[in-house]
Structure 1
């Protein structure tokens, strides 16, 4: 556990860190979002659910004080501040859970951040990498006492936040489905380097989602199996529902993975077809002009005795022969449906 000498109290949090505390029970609700970390920790109430949300991980003082107050293991803190695969891990006094939170997909890139949770008997700490999340509407529901959250404990609060994040995956996957449809249409009509690059970028994003969802299913599965002392039997069925959603997301993702691989085949085939058409036209043109070039080459030789050179109608006869050859070969290729 890290320890630091107590610094002087500051009136506001570090500009790179936003602190928020929500405390509630069936009859009471309070929210604090303009306090330094020391004052915020003093507002915790043992007989209520306490949700501490930390946006930004750049202030070591805040992290150290939270770690010291709740007795968090230093390995847990390392997982919070480092890029970590989704997982759940139980310590003596709390449960640690981390996952990827998807905000949106812009262009071909997913905007995401890592979010970590520490669940204790009457508290939940959420660590976010940057300002802004998916929970603003949910905070209003808590304040207005809509739904079950005010009647439940902190383990139910953790379930609701995980469920909200999981729902965001559906939004991103739906957008990926639309992108696949657009790329497929472009690949058929106008295959290009741009569509190829889009397919490659899409493959990278799908790989990222696989790395986010498969470990997440495993992490939630450990909770569903009843391996945590911090999740009540009553809440297990809620986590089981999240598990089913994640399994469905993985099935959809596997389908999109196959479709993306198919897109690459479509693109390659379309490019080959386009190239073949170009080569066919060039071959036809070259074939038509070969005999014409031969004729021109013959009469371009500088021999002294060439009978046609002194013939009155020689020039026009050569043009006539070349025209007959040209249109004859053109008709022949048309009949063979070569173009």
Structure 2
């Protein structure tokens, strides 16, 4: 557990020890715990004095974006980018937040980029109350994630511009990677939008009107990113189908060439096989010019078959 605690009085932040976080000295207290283990759960339960339901929610292993009103406070779970490489099916790390007037507890399991951005805002004096802090989290997450979503779209644009049968395998890998990321991001952005909208509509004097407006803006931005990700997912599916068609055409073209070559050599194989039999009375077998004659006939047949396929435009299909 790597704790971080602030006491904010009239916008002036002060780092405090974790042992002093629960002392009632006025202002806003923000406690952030990094890592989910028995020590974290024990501190939240014994020192933080939180309800067991809240402790379980803040330390749950599997989470999805949601918002719940509990008494005079609210529990919020958000998803954002992590500094660590995560599994393809779960590309976004989570931050669990419990906010009530005068106090905010946040817990992360993986190192989250947005936490550092929020700390910078706190140090700059831009946070005064729980609403400001939650708004800072929502804004930091969406601002950090937005360029990543735009990059996915740019990568897909590059694939569309470089569409070529000779690069099918390389393009398919890129398209698959973009599609997996878009699906993983969209899986959390849709419920995250709903969670932010629900939080903005919650009653309570610890959320100011400006906080509600900022939360609504963050929800709108999450909705826009979700729509962009849905577009990327659909474009990726179409691109994958196009690449599969190009690959199939490439295979058909090569199969056609192989078939034509086989048709050219089929009569030649028959003739050479016939004269290769070890039996008596083959026509002209004893003549000294027989070999040259057979080679000439084979060459004429091969040329005739090739000219026939060229006139029928089989090589250009």
Q: TM-score, structure 1 length as denominator?
A: 0.82
Which of 156, 163, 167 aligns to 1:190? It is: 167
State the partner residue of 1:130: 110
* Aligned 1:257-336 pairs, distance under 5 A: 257-336=233-312
Seen in structure 2, the aligned counterparts of structure 1 residues 204 and 137 have a Cα distance that, compared at 3 Å, is closer
What is the alpha-carbon distance in structure 2 between the residues aligned to residue 144 and residue 237 of structure 1? 21
Q: Offset of 1:239 from its aligned partner?
A: 1.1
Q: 2:77 aligns with which of 95, 98, 101?
A: 98
Cα gap change, 1:277 to 1:335, in 2 (>3 Å):
same
Gaps of 5+ in 2: none
Cα deviation for residue 248 of structure 1 reads: 0.5
Q: Distance in 2 between matches of 1:294 and 1:166?
A: 72
Q: What is the TM-score normalised by the length of structure 2? A: 0.87
Task: Check conservation: 1:159, 1:238, Cα contact below 8 A.
Answer: yes
Count matched residues.
311
> Any idea what SS the aligned residue of 2:239 has?
helix
Matched, 1:63 2:41: yes
State the SS of the aligned residue for 1:96.
strand
1:223 aligned residue: 199
Shift of 1:197: 5.5
Q: In structure 1, how many angstroms separate the alpha carbons of the residues matched to 2:140 and 2:219?
A: 13
Question: Is 2:15 aligned against 1:51?
Answer: no
Q: Which ranges of structure 1 fall in alignment gaps of 5 or more residues?
A: 1-16
1:196, distance to aligned residue in structure 2 (A): 4.6
- Kept in 1, the 8 Å contact 2:182–2:229? The answer is yes
User: What CA distance in whole angstroms lies between the structure 2 residues aligned with 1:248 and 1:272?
Assistant: 36
The RMSD of aligned alpha carbons is 2.6
Structure 2 counterpart of 1:76: 54
**Could you tell me how far 1:26 is from its partner in structure 2?**
3.1
* 1:179, distance to aligned residue in structure 2 (A): 3.8
2:6: which partner in 1?
A: 22
